[in-house]
A and B are shown apart, each in its own frame.
Chain A
Amino acid sequence: MAISRRQFLKRGGLVGAGTLLGPGLFGNGLLRQAYAALEANNRYFVVIFLDGGNDGLNTVIPADDVAGLRTAYDAARNNINITPAELTNSLIGLDPISGTQLGIHPGFNVPNDYFDNGAGAGGLKALYDLGKVAVVQGCGYPEYSLSHEEARVIWQTGVPLGPSAGTGWIGRHLAAQYAGNQIPAVNINDSIVGEFRQTGTSVLAVRDLDRFTFPFDENYPSDVAAKSAAFSALAQAAVAGAQPAAFFLGNTGLATIDATAAYQELSSNYNQDRPTFRQLYADIGRSMSTDLREVARVIWGVENGVPNVNARFFQLGNGGYDTHSDQGGAERNGQHYDLHAELGAALKVFYDDLASMPGNVANRTTILVWSEFSRRVPQNQNGTDHGSQGPMFVIGGSVNGGVYGNHPNIEDSALDYEGNTEYTQSANSFRSTDFRDVYGTILKHWVSLPGGTVQGLLPLDNTVEAVGDPDHYWRTADFDLGFI
Chain B
Amino acid sequence: MADGTPLTLLHARHLLRRTGFGASQDEAANFLAQHPTRGAAATALLSYKPNGFKPGGRSFDDIHDKWIKYMLKAKSPLQEKLVLFWHDHFATGISKVFDVKMMAVQNKLFRLNGRGNFKTLVKDVNRDPAMMEYLDTVRNHAEIPNENYARELQELFTLGVKDSAGVDNYVQADVAQIARAFTGWDYDKVAFFKDYDHDYEADYPARGAKVIFQSTGGFGPGGRNFAVEAGEEGPNEIDAVVDIIFEHEDSQGKNTVARRTARRLIEYFAHANPSLAFIDDVVTASSFDQDFELTPLLHEIFVHDDFYLTAVPPIGAGTPKSVRWPIDFVVSSLRLLRMKPKGKYQYIDGGSYTRVFDQLSNMGQLIFDPPSVFGWDWETAWVSSSTMLARYGFARDLTAAHAGGSTAFRPDKFIDLDLTDPNDILTAVTDALGVTGDLSLAEETALVDYLTDNGANPSIDLFDYDVRHSKLHGLFALVMQTPAYQLQ
CA of A148 to CA of B374, assembled, Å:
11
Besides A245-B379, A249-B483, A259-B385, 13 more A-B contacts (Cβ < 8 Å) are A148-B372, A149-B372, A149-B373, A190-B387, A191-B387, A230-B446, A230-B449, A238-B483, A241-B315, A245-B483, A246-B487, A249-B487, A252-B383
Whole-angstrom distance between the Cβ of B476 and the nearest chain A Cβ = 11
In chain A, positions 422-457 with a C-beta closer than 8 Å to chain B are none
Whole-angstrom distance between the Cβ of B417 and the nearest chain A Cβ = 18
- Write the chain B residue with the least CB distance to A226: B450
* B443-A237 in contact (CB<8A): yes
Whole-angstrom distance between the Cβ of A325 and the nearest chain B Cβ = 13
Q: Which residues of B contact A226 (CB under 8 A)?
A: 450, 453, 474
B230 on the A face (CB < 8 A):
no
Q: Which residues of A contact B396 (CB under 8 A)?
A: 215-217
* B483-A246 in contact (CB<8A): yes
A332 on the B face (CB < 8 A):
no
Q: Which residues of B contact A149 (CB under 8 A)?
A: 372-374
A135-158 near B? 1/0 per residue, CB < 8 Å: 000000000000011000000000
B399 on the A face (CB < 8 A):
yes
Whole-angstrom distance between the Cβ of B63 and the nearest chain A Cβ = 22
**Contacts A230-B446, A244-B317; is A238 near B389 (CB within 8 Å)?**
no
A200-218 near B? 1/0 per residue, CB < 8 Å: 0011111100001011111
B322 on the A face (CB < 8 A):
yes
Interface of A is mostly: helix
- Choose from A233, A246, A256 the contact partner of B446 (Cβ within 8 Å): A233
* Chain A residues bordering chain B, tally (CB within 8 A): 53
B350-393 near A? 1/0 per residue, CB < 8 Å: 01100000000010100000001110000111011111110011
B478 on the A face (CB < 8 A):
yes
**Contacts A189-B386, A219-B402, A220-B469; is A243 near B381 (CB within 8 Å)?**
no
B471-488 near A? 1/0 per residue, CB < 8 Å: 101100110011110110
Chain B residues in contact with chain A, CB under 8 A? 162, 166, 315-317, 319, 321-323, 351-352, 362, 364, 372-374, 379-381, 383-389, 392-393, 396-397, 399-400, 402, 440, 442-443, 445-447, 449-450, 453, 466, 469-471, 473-474, 477-478, 481-484, 486-487
Give 27 pairs: A residue, B residue, CB < 8 Å, sorted on A: A20-B317, A149-B374, A163-B162, A191-B364, A192-B381, A202-B385, A205-B386, A212-B389, A215-B351, A215-B396, A219-B400, A220-B469, A220-B474, A222-B470, A223-B471, A226-B450, A231-B481, A234-B446, A234-B478, A234-B483, A236-B442, A243-B315, A245-B321, A245-B483, A249-B383, A249-B483, A256-B392
Closest 9 CB pairs of A and B: A233-B446, A249-B483, A242-B317, A230-B450, A237-B442, A205-B386, A205-B384, A215-B393, A220-B470
* B477-A217 in contact (CB<8A): yes
Interface of B is mostly: helix
- Choose from A203, A204, A223, A234 the contact partner of B482 (Cβ within 8 Å): A234
Whole-angstrom distance between the Cβ of B330 and the nearest chain A Cβ = 15
CA of A217 to CA of B393, assembled, Å:
9
* A192-B384 in contact (CB<8A): yes
A30 on the B face (CB < 8 A):
no
- Write the chain A residue with the least CB distance to B382: A191
Whole-angstrom distance between the Cβ of B351 and the nearest chain A Cβ = 7
* B319-A243 in contact (CB<8A): yes
A392 on the B face (CB < 8 A):
no
* B166-A163 in contact (CB<8A): yes
Q: Which residues of A contact B315 (CB under 8 A)?
A: 241, 243, 246
Chain A residues in contact with chain B, CB under 8 A? 20, 148-149, 163, 189-192, 197, 199, 202-207, 212, 214-220, 222-223, 226-227, 229-231, 233-238, 240-246, 248-250, 252-253, 255-256, 259-260
Q: Which residues of B contact A256 (CB under 8 A)?
A: 385, 388-389, 392
- Choose from B386, B392, B399 the contact partner of A207 (Cβ within 8 Å): B386
CA of A206 to CA of B384, assembled, Å:
9
- Choose from A197, A227, A252 the contact partner of B450 (Cβ within 8 Å): A227
* B387-A237 in contact (CB<8A): no
* A219-B384 in contact (CB<8A): no
CA of A226 to CA of B473, assembled, Å:
13
Whole-angstrom distance between the Cβ of B449 and the nearest chain A Cβ = 7
Of the listed residues B380, B396, B442, the one surrounded by the most CB atoms of chain A closer than 10 A to its CB is B380
CA of A250 to CA of B483, assembled, Å:
6
Whole-angstrom distance between the Cβ of B105 and the nearest chain A Cβ = 26
Whole-angstrom distance between the Cβ of A234 and the nearest chain B Cβ = 5
CA of A243 to CA of B316, assembled, Å:
5
CA of A189 to CA of B385, assembled, Å:
10
* B386-A217 in contact (CB<8A): no
* B388-A252 in contact (CB<8A): yes
Q: Which residues of B contact A199 (CB under 8 A)?
A: 380
- Write the chain B residue with the least CB distance to A199: B380
- Write the chain A residue with the least CB distance to B166: A163
CA of A462 to CA of B238, assembled, Å:
38
CA of A246 to CA of B439, assembled, Å:
11
Q: Which residues of A contact B364 (CB under 8 A)?
A: 190-191
CA of A235 to CA of B478, assembled, Å:
11
**Contacts A216-B396, A217-B396, A245-B487; is A231 near B478 (CB within 8 Å)?**
yes
